Amino acid sequence: MASELTFIMVKPDGVQRGLTGEIISRFERRGFKLVNLKMVHASKEHIEKHYEDLAGKPFYPGLVKYMSSGPVVAMCWAGKDVVKQGRILLGATNPLASSPGTIRGDYAIDVGRNICHGSDAVESAKKELELWFGQEAAGIQYERAIDQWVYEN
C-alpha cells in the first residue's frame, strides 16, 4: 500500500531517561512500521538546520544547546496518516497541555525537556528525513506479514 513517512526523534532527555524503547513501542503497537533508525550525537550546526524555522525565538539558543547536548535516536516511521497520527501519539508541544496517554503527557513536564520530536506536515517530514538520513531518506523497503491484520486493504 502507498505509505506516508514521518521523522520521529527521541531527544537527548528521552535517551538519558531510558525512554527510547517506550517511544518505539508506542509506534509499533499502534501498527506503524519502522523503516529506519540510527543514534546520532548531532552538531550544533545540524540542530540549527533542523530548527531553522525557529531561529529568532527567545528559547532558540537553549533549544540548540539541549538538542546537541547528547545522542538522539532518529527514526523514520511509515503508515497511513502517520505524520498526523505521530503528532497525536507525541502529544502537545508543551507537556503541561498534553493529554495523559500521550508520550509527552505521560513522561514530560517542561516544554524545553519534552523528550521527543515529530514532523508537523508531510512536506516537513520529507525535509527532515533528507536532513537526517540523506540518501536513505525513503527508509528500508521490506514487507510485513502483519500488514494484512493492520490494514483492511
Residues that bind ligand GDP (CB under 6 A): 54, 59, 62-63, 93, 111-112, 114, 117, 120
Q: Which is nearer to ligand GDP, 96 or 140 (CB)?
A: 96
The DSSP bridge partners found for residue 77 are 6, 34
Question: How far is it, in rounded angstroms, from Cα 47 to Cα 24?
Answer: 22
11: helix, coil or strand?
coil
Enter the C-alpha cell of residue 153. 486493504
Look at residue 61 and give the partner it binds from ligand GDP, Mg ion, none, a contact being a CB closer than 5 to 8 Å depending on partner kind: none
**49 appears as a binding residue in the annotation:** no
Q: How many residues does the chain have?
A: 153
Query: How would you label 69-85 residue by residue, b for 16+ Cβ within 10 Å and e otherwise?
Result: bebbbbbbbbbeebbbb
Q: Could you say which of 41, 46, 50, 117 is catalytic? A: 117
Q: Which is nearer to ligand GDP, 43 or 93 (CB)?
A: 93
Shortest CB 150 distance to ligand GDP, Å = 26
Give the active site residues. 117
User: Which residues are part of a known binding site for ATP?
Assistant: 11, 59, 87, 93, 104, 114
